[in-house]
Chain A
Amino acid sequence: MPYEIHGLMPFIYVGLIMLGVVFSLIRFLVGPTAPDRVVATDILTTITTVVLVVLALFFDRQIYLDVALVYAVLAFTAVVAIARFLEGGL
């Protein structure tokens, strides 16, 4: 039985998350240079971490937080690697 969150709050969470996803996706598609797209991907990674935490809240399982922890620890590696590639030092 999932933990009941009453009222309007879950709708607000999901609405704000989807708004963030839409805006960063627009930046990813439009962004004229590669660094714009890298930043958009990084923001999407952060939003993914938030989504995983919110899903752990919705399903009422603490152990799901481990998945979010993996992204929280490792997410910056890809951005650093692409930055090093763009300056030619990979």
Chain B
Amino acid sequence: MHSLILFMVLGLSLVLVVATLVIWLSKDLLVAILASAIVSLIASIFFLVLQAPDVAITEAAIGAGLTTGILLYAMKIAGRYEDD
């Protein structure tokens, strides 16, 4: 069972790395906001695997809607596309 959970953590951390690379390289800020939502999801799973349900529930509550909302309001002011 433990090795199975470890396998799942390994796969999800690859997804985490891919989502972080998308945040870093994307010129479309909407895609970056979506990718940061994915990072928050996977971080919440990791906190639960690390036996920290209080941290996991805080991460879930913040990442599920509030961060996306505040970043969208900020993007409405700043513009959607990053210019070089």
Contacts and interface: CB of A to CB of B under 8 A. Distances in A.
Please classify the interface of chain B as helix (H, G, I), strand (E, B), loop, or mixed, using the class held by over half of its residues.
helix
Q: How large is the interface on A (under 10, 10 to 19, 20 to 34, 35 or more residues)?
A: 35 or more
B8 A52 contact: no
Interface in B1-48: 1, 4-5, 7-8, 11-12, 15, 18, 22, 28, 30-31, 33-35, 37-38, 41-42, 44-45, 48
Contacts of B42: 48
Interface of B: 1, 4-5, 7-8, 11-12, 15, 18, 22, 28, 30-31, 33-35, 37-38, 41-42, 44-45, 48-49, 51, 53, 56-57, 60-61, 64-65, 68-69, 72-73, 75-76
